[in-house]
Amino acid sequence: MSETSNPNPEVASENGEATQPGLQILTQYVRDLSFENPAAPALAPPDGGNPDVSVDANVNARKLAENDYEVGLKFTIQAKFGDQVAFIAELLYCGVFRLIHIPENDIKPVLLIEAPRQLFPFARRILADVTRDGGYPPILLDPIDFLDLYRRGEHAQTEDPDPDDSPTSSAGPEEDTH
């Protein structure tokens, strides 16, 4: 997944045969899930309105084995009615991915763009279910442009280099009114 397009994405193996690069999902799981409903059951929306909702999203990856990586999507959602917190939902949803014949310079983009794309629909459903089960309308996250998130993370790293070697991307608080 490099910036330049390659008409032939095959990579030559050690014995000279061409092999297709690939991304295999080995497993997916909830690493951490928290839902705080501090004012329940007393909190009622003023005038039947919707709460102000902020969403913070982060992506990180870490190497587990030679070709296996854990990729985590972390979401923090906070809903308020005025100054009163309605709920706080936090989810760390992870997947273990095996990279197959991915060139070294493409590993980071694959882990921070393509892997989160695979995980996002599952994390979105979990957050919708937990907010609905908490007594609120389900939070339906808008799709995330992980390419843009990655590019912003790369831009931020060039301005403020991080000594940590683990790849990460993050999106600051986004206002959402779902």
CATH of the domain at 93: 3.10.420.10
Identify the pLDDT of residue 173.
45
Residue 67 scores a pLDDT above 50? yes
Identify the pLDDT of residue 115.
97
10 found inside a domain: no
173 found inside a domain: no
Statement: the pTM of the whole predicted model exceeds 0.75: yes
Residue 90 scores a pLDDT above 90? yes
1 found inside a domain: no
Identify the pLDDT of residue 15.
57
More confident residue, 175 or 48: 48
30 found inside a domain: yes
- Boundaries of domain holding 110: 19-160
Q: What is the mean pLDDT of residues 116-131?
A: 97
Q: Where is average pLDDT lowest: 8-12, 67-71, 84-88, 123-127?
A: 8-12
6 found inside a domain: no
124 found inside a domain: yes
Q: What is the mean pLDDT of residues 152-167?
A: 64
Of 30, 94, 92, whose CA–CA distance to 68 is shortest?
94
79 found inside a domain: yes
Domain count of the fold of the chain = 1
What is the 3 state secondary structure string of the chain?
Answer: CCCCCCCCCCEECCCCCEECCEEEEEEEEEEEEEEECCCCCCCCCHHHCCCEEEEEEEEEEEECCCCEEEEEEEEEEEEEECCEEEEEEEEEEEEEEEEECCCHHHHHHHHHHHHHHHHHHHHHHHHHHHHHHCCCCCCCCCCCCHHHHHHHHHHHHHHCCCCCCCCEEEEEEEEECC
2 found inside a domain: no
